[in-house]
Each structure stands twice: as structure tokens, then as C-alpha cells.
Amino acid sequence: MSKPKGFEKPAGVRDYLPHAVTKLRRIEREVLACMDRWGYRQIMTPTMEYYDTVGVASSTSDQKLFKLLNKRGTTMVLRSDLTAPIARVMSSLLKDEPLPVRLSYHANVFRAIEEEAGREAEFFQTGVELVGDDTPEADAEVIALAIESLKAAGVEKFKIAMGHMGYLNGLLQEVLPDRTEDQESLKQDLLNRDYVGYRNTIASLSLTEVQRDQLEGILKLRGGREIAGQALEISSNELARASIEHLSKVWEVLEAYDVSRHVLFDLTMLGDFSYYTGMTFEGYAAELGSPVASGGRYDKLLRQFGRAVPATGFALKTNRILDGVQGEEIVEELPILIRYTASHRKEGLAKASELRAQGHTVITSIIPDSANVRDAELPVVSGSLLNRGYREVITLR
Amino acid sequence: MAETLKVAMPKGRIYKKASALFRSAGLPIPLDVDETRKLVIPLPEAGMEFILAKPVDVPTYVEYGVADIGIVGKDVLMEENKDVYELLDLGIARCRMSVIGLPDWKPGIRQRVATKYPNVASQYFREQGQQVEVVKLNGSIELAPLIGLADRIVDMVETGQTLKENGLVEMTSIFEITSRLIANRVSYRMKNDEIQALCDRLQTVIMSEGANI
């Protein structure tokens, strides 16, 4: 590749000009305030972590991690999510903290070569982790909070799909006991969202018709509350049954939150992250082509850091929301411009200071001695990306 | 109220077969659509809007969500590797991806393979443990072995007629190709009812007609 030109930036990262920052900050502020009202307190962790700790635990595939070497030759990574760093903090700084713990965050994360549309290498996530509670109540709390957060971010039309890792695992164990390889290839088909491949794989295995129907049945397990019953008809495996019971209880709590109309069951959905162990969910907005939220239960992740406690959480893809959601137009107060000649400097700056104290935005500017009076009357703003004009121009001469 | 489904349809070879399949499934798709030069065609009676696209671009439109669903050959899906749902094997436009060469082919010191599908080709030869140089061409792939650009090619084979006429032979078949119904990740959830209903109707037709469309 040729040497980059001076104005170029790497692919997958972007600049945000003030109008975009204003909108992004508002989404961030509203969402964090919403999380705060639910008792989630904000945490910040470093941008850089060790590859061997957070990098390995993060379950972002190796080739998608940004890696660097420090002076001693230790491999470092740029964080690819906040779940693994928070798990590290829970097992170190907060290791004696009574449970449950509720934490929120807003941070930029890094993934080299995203395979999905958009292909962002750096993007923003706003999310929560609820650590130390393995009840359906906790799973429902994070889903209900995800719904509130989407609303706070200005997303009007959205749906949440909720699934459970245990159901598929249980069903596979029942139909294909101890055939780990076959189980894995079926799971891989579903992870690739390749239902044709899934059916073909089933056809290639030597199975009875009943078993085939069982495995194909899972593809239809998407919809409302009734799906729980249908799922139980398909599999009588203990793990599958327990998973459905868990989801049904989550659903009951979501009904009590009065948000179940936003949620649908989807037992074909596997979380994109391998650390999910139980309930998983994704949020979709009508305006956007890819999911805006994802989350789930990860009961084994904290064990890797030495503290075996259950946890659940979610993250919003904040800049996707920024791109796709119109929201209300932000009406910002225009600044006041104070122009003064050298002899009126003290007076002008004092006036500016007085107006700023009242909460106004004030810009000051000197009128050069050489400028004639007409120039001084006309501050030029046309063609500017940043300057939208002034609320008032005060000229002191 | 049912929402309009935006359908990315491949222009050309597959279009006629796919729209015939839609008609068999009871959807009112007019016969003359493919003769118009319009690129976006509203079909309110069918609750759809067709977006006529170059086949290789169909998965891109669907991945970005500007089309909710699309119809595309497995060859394109294998080559493009997009993040979309592959819902249904439509059983139409059946053919296969194959390695093709001259009848007297012997492995040379330096092996070159010409293809429109560089990702598919390099992956296949990697899996076979063969080191080959893949050359991307955009059409008339059969030319490459005839004029000495490559010693083998990877391409789609339907009847084998073109190969025969050019004195080439099909050496290995890599995978079977049919057209697939694909869906965007978000549309699959937001327009779940419409997409599922369409899937069910198409599946009924496919089951009853088999691969004879």
C-alpha cells in the first residue's frame, strides 16, 4: 500500500464533528442517567489490558483483537468489550464487595476487522453488569433496563429476542448423546445463521424421523409466550426443560415490568460471545440493519479471574443508535458575539464574563484598528460546518 | 397491518425462476417485471417491493438492511461470506462449483487457478493442502486454460456444455449450488410474521414440486 496522504485516517475509525458529538453525548447522558436510576453505578477501566488475562477471557476471536507489545515484550490488547475487564475488577478491587453488584459503563471498544456491515474498528458501548445474582429476576431486570435504555436513547420502534443456551445444548444432548462433533457442527450452522446448512447437516446424520423432527423443530421456536410450551413438547431433556422454566419465569417478571410486548422468544439464537451460559438476548431497531443491543448471562467468566459468581448484563451499540435514530432535533442556544476595539477591551471582556456567569455562551473578538465600520458590523458565518450564527452581536467601539 | 417486505432479486438467469416460484406460492407477481428498466418495483398486491440487483450484490443489500430479504445463489454466499440468515433452499437454478481443466492436466511446478470466486478457490485448495496461485477474472473463465493464463479454473457448471465445446473437463465438484432465501438479522425479527409466512408458503411449493421448477 502507498503511504497515506496527510488527511487520511485508518479504515474503521471515525471523526465526530461537534453536531454529532452533541447528539452522541446526549444519548450517552440519557442512557447513563437511566441506568443510574436503576442503581447501576458507573465504572471506568483501562483501554489496554493484558492479552493473557482479559484478552483471552473476552471471547472476541484472536484475529479480531488489536494486539500490541509493551517494552518487556508482553502482549497487550485494546479492550474489545467491557464485560471481561469488569469481571477482572470484580475479582480484584471488588473481591470482598457484598453481592449483588450493579455497574454501568460507557466506553470505546476495539475490534480489528468486524465481519459485519459497517466494519467498525472502534465503537462505543453503553451497558451494565449485574454480578452475583443468578435468579430469573436478575435476567428480567437487565432486559427491562435494556428496554428503558433504548427508549432513553431515543429508539422508538424496537424488539428484543430472548433465547437460552441451555435449551439447544439440552436438545442436542438428548438427540445426539455424546456425539460432540455432530453437536458442534449443528451449533456452528446455527451460529452462522445458516438454516439450510443446519437442515443439511441433520439430513447427513443417521437419525430416526422423530429425532430429525426434534432437531428441525427448533427452527420454528420463535414467537410469543406460546413458544415455551412448544419447546417443552420437543425436548424432555432435563437441561432443556430447566432452561425453558427459567425463561418462562423471566417472561413472568417482564410481564410485571409491563414490557413483555417488546420481547419475543427465539430459541435458535445463540449469543455471538462464547462466554454466555444461560439466557441471551439481542435488541433490534426498525431503522437499523444490525442489532443495537446484546446481552446475556455468563456464569463462568468470573471464575477465570478467581471469583466464581454468576453474572448477567448487556451493552448498547451506542454509535449505531447515533447513526440510525433521528430522535428530537437538539435545539442549542446560539452564542452571543462581543466585538470590541482595543480601547473597549476591558469593558467587553467584563461584559462577556458577566453573561457567561448567567449561563450564556459568549465568544469575544477584537476589531482591528484598521477595520472600517461596515466590516465590524458583519460577522461572516456562511459555509461553516461549526458556526451556525449568533443569537446577538454586541459591538463596543 | 402487514409491513411491506423489501426483496433484493437477482437480475438475469435466476430472476425468472425465482419469480415463477413466488407465483406458484400464490403471490401476485406480474410476468413483465423483468422486462422493465426500473430498478425498484413496488408490488403492493403482494405486500412487497422488488429491488433488482446484480446477483453478487444481493447479500450486501440484505446485510446492510436496505433489503429485508433476498434471493441469491449459494456460490455468491460462499464467496461473499456476509452476516445474513440463510433461511431456505429454493431448489432452483441448480448447478455446482467445480474444478475444471484440460483433459491432459498434470500438476506443474507452479500452479495457477483462474476464477470469479477467489475466496472459494483459495479456501478449497488450502483445505486440499495444495499451494496454488489464484487469479481473479470477471468473465469467460474458460479462456484461461485455453490460452495458458492458468492451468485450471474454478467455476460454476450447469450442463457442462460450454466446457465440452471448449475441450475442458470437470475434474472435481466442490459443492452443489442452488438459490437460497436470505434475510437481514434485524428484519428477521422486526418483520418476523411476514418473513415466516413467506417462508412457509415457499416451502410448501418446494416440497410439492420438488426440484422440477
Question: Quick one: which of A218, A179, A184, A180 has its CA closest to A199?
Answer: A218
Please indicate, yes or no, whether residues B63 and B112 belong to a single structural domain of this protein. Answer: no
Q: Where are the domains of chain A?
A: 18-324, 336-396
| CA B43 to chain CA centroid, nearest Å | 23
Amino acid B211: pLDDT: 46
Q: B88, A291: Cβ pair inside 8 Å?
A: no
Please indicate, yes or no, whether residues B22 and B84 belong to a single structural domain of this protein. Answer: yes
Mean pLDDT for chain B? Answer: 91
Using an 8 Å Cβ cutoff, are A316 and A324 in contact?
A: no
CA nearest to A189 within chain B:
B86
A 10 A CB-CB count for B191 gives: 22
Helices (H), B56-136: 58-64, 74-80, 118-127
| Chain B residues whose C-beta sits inside 8 Å of any chain A C-beta | 63-66, 81-89, 180, 184-186, 189-190, 192, 196
Of A197, A288, A289, the CB nearest to B86: A197
Closest Cα in chain A, distance from residue B75 (Å) = 14
Of A157, A195, A289, the CB nearest to B65: A289
Please indicate, yes or no, whether residues B78 and B183 belong to a single structural domain of this protein. Answer: yes
Question: Quick one: which of B96, B50, B47 has its CA closest to B74?
Answer: B96
Closest Cα in chain A, distance from residue B166 (Å) = 34
Please indicate, yes or no, whether residues B188 and B88 belong to a single structural domain of this protein. Answer: yes
Please indicate, yes or no, whether residues B190 and B166 belong to a single structural domain of this protein. Answer: no
Please indicate, yes or no, whether residues B70 and B83 belong to a single structural domain of this protein. Answer: yes
Closest Cα in chain A, distance from residue B189 (Å) = 7
Query: Which helix or strand (DSSP H or E) is residue A145 part of?
Result: helix A136-152
Using an 8 Å Cβ cutoff, are B17 and B91 in contact?
A: no
Q: B83, A199: Cβ pair inside 8 Å?
A: no
Return d(Cα B186, Cα B145) in angstroms, integer: 44
Residue identified by cell 500500500 is: A1
Q: A286, B190: Cβ pair inside 8 Å?
A: yes
Of B64, B86, B186, the CB nearest to A194: B86
Strands A336-340 and A392-396, by their bridges, are parallel
Which residues of B are less than 8 Å from A289 in CB distance? 63-66, 184-186
May I ask the CATH class of domain A18-324? Answer: alpha beta
Q: Which domain covers residue B99, as residue numbers? A: 95-175
CATH, residue B84: 3.40.190.10
Please indicate, yes or no, whether residues B76 and B138 belong to a single structural domain of this protein. Answer: no
Return d(Cα A271, Cα A346) in angstroms, integer: 63
Return d(Cα A37, Cα A58) in angstroms, integer: 28
Of A117, A161, A197, the CB nearest to B189: A161
End-to-end Cα, chain A, rounded Å:
57
Which residues of A are less than 8 Å from B89 in CB distance? 196, 199-200
Mean pLDDT for chain A? Answer: 89
Q: A161, B186: Cβ pair inside 8 Å?
A: no
Query: Which helix or strand (DSSP H or E) is residue A124 part of?
Result: strand A122-131
* pLDDT above 80 (res A209): yes
Please indicate, yes or no, whether residues B35 and B100 belong to a single structural domain of this protein. Answer: no
| CA A365 to chain CA centroid, nearest Å | 42
Number of domains chain B contains? 2
Q: How many CB pairs under 8 A join A and B?
A: 61
Amino acid B98: pLDDT: 96
pLDDT tens-digit profile, chain B (213 residues)? 578 999 999 998 899 999 999 999 999 988 877 667 788 999 999 999 999 999 999 999 999 999 999 999 999 999 988 889 999 999 999 999 999 999 988 888 889 999 999 999 999 999 999 999 999 999 899 999 999 999 999 999 999 898 999 999 999 999 999 999 999 999 999 998 899 999 999 999 998 875 444
pLDDT in tens, A135-166: 999 999 999 999 999 999 999 889 999 999 89
What value does the mean pLDDT take over residues A279-291? 90
Residue identified by cell 491432459 is: B104
pTM of the full structure:
0.87
- Which phi and psi (to 5°) does residue A16 adopt? -115, 120
CATH of the domain spanning A336-396, picked from 2.60.120, 3.40.50, 1.10.238, 2.60.200: 3.40.50
Please indicate, yes or no, whether residues B58 and B132 belong to a single structural domain of this protein. Answer: no
E-strand stretches of chain B: 5-10, 40-43, 48-53, 69-73, 85-89, 95-101, 112-115, 133-136, 152-157, 169-177, 179-183
Q: B83, A116: Cβ pair inside 8 Å?
A: yes
* pLDDT above 60 (res A373): no
Amino acid A372: pLDDT: 64
- Which phi and psi (to 5°) does residue B180 adopt? -125, 150
Q: A289, B83: Cβ pair inside 8 Å?
A: no
Of A161, A196, A291, the CB nearest to B180: A196
Please indicate, yes or no, whether residues B10 and B89 belong to a single structural domain of this protein. Answer: yes
Poorest-confidence range of A167-176, A307-316, A378-387?
A378-387
All 3 cell numbers of residue A102?
A: 450493579
What value does the mean pLDDT take over residues A64-89? 93
Strand partners, A317: A125
Please indicate, yes or no, whether residues B77 and B104 belong to a single structural domain of this protein. Answer: no
What value does the mean pLDDT take over residues A181-197? 91
Q: In what order do the strands lie in the sheet with B85-89?
A: B40-43, B48-53, B5-10, B69-73, B179-183, B85-89
> Would the CA dihedral through B104, B109, B110, B115 be positive or negative?
positive
Please indicate, yes or no, whether residues B166 and B103 belong to a single structural domain of this protein. Answer: yes
Using an 8 Å Cβ cutoff, are B45 and B28 in contact?
A: yes
Which residues of A are less than 8 Å from B196 in CB distance? 222
Return d(Cα A324, Cα B183) in angstroms, integer: 20
